[in-house]
Amino acid sequence: MFRSVRGVVRLGLAVAYLLGVALRMHLGFARLPFDERQRRVQHWSAGVLRCLGMRLVVHGHMRPGARLVVANHISWLDIMAVNAVETCRFVSKSEVRDWPVVGRMVTLAGTIYLERARKRDALRVLGLVAQTLKDGHAAAVFPEGTTTDGHTLLPFHANLLQSAIDADVPVQPLALRYSDAKQVISPAAAYVGDTTLLQSLWWVACAEDLTVTVRVLPPVRVTHADRRALADSLREQIRTALEPGPEREQA
């Protein structure tokens, strides 16, 4: 009973917060300077996590300047979690664009949508990511290409890593892990299989002490790198970082 009440309260807070964000984004957000838009997205992303009763824990510090952020992929929450640390321009599946409220928020944050049904769309996305990096900004990709339950790490696709090589900027690996009061790897955050967005929201809102840990790994230079070897190396670094270790809450 208490779990359901907790879920209803948190969902109500999150919906109200997201509607407020949507309104503020509609009222001149696109005309704000780039740095101010980034700051607001970071603030709003952290706010969504708080409304859902989540705790953000961070290890390490992001490298400043242009870089390609690469992370394992568990949930739609991953974008919120990374943006709460530092805003990036994400590559995401095109379906996210149509999600209620959340889709509007990540779209205005500069998300690059990949039309997976179009075989050659990856080339268009690769060019946009490379240009973002050359312009001095941060972009982010999930090279597994889909979400997992957090217990496994799929092979990394190398295609979009070429953007960092083309722009000659470092790659910043991140290891994401969701835990709760009872389990080191929480099933509440997993957005896999036939799970709907509403189901995922409900599970997250009902979870007890759900924590997302973002472990920032050292940046990797990619000058003259082979993208497939780079993909394998990044996967191994993230796999190692996902092993249990001490945590500290973000200040």
In angstroms, the first-to-last Cα distance of the chain is: 33
Average pLDDT over residues 202-217: 96
Task: Give the global pTM.
Answer: 0.90
| Whether the predicted pLDDT of 115 surpasses 90 | no
Closest by alpha carbon to 44, among 66, 28, 63, 20? 20
Query: What's 87-100 look like in SS3?
Result: CCEEEEEHHHHHCC
Q: Which CATH number does 2-241 carry?
A: 3.40.1130
Q: Give the model's pLDDT for residue 136.
A: 95
Integer Cα distance of 242 and 251 in angstroms: 21
Residue 54: count of CB within 10 angstroms of its CB: 25
- Give the position of tokens 């740095």: 35
* Cα of 161 vs its chain's centroid, Å: 16
Work out the average pLDDT over 198-212.
95
- pLDDT for position 147: 95
Q: Is the pLDDT of residue 122 over 50?
A: yes
Measure the CA–CA gap between 26 and 60, rounded to whole angstroms: 34
Q: Which has more pLDDT, 251 or 83?
A: 83
What whole-number distance in Å separates Cα of residue 86 and Cα of residue 78? 12
Weakest-pLDDT range from 5-14, 87-96, 108-117, 153-162: 108-117
Higher-pLDDT residue of 102, 211: 211
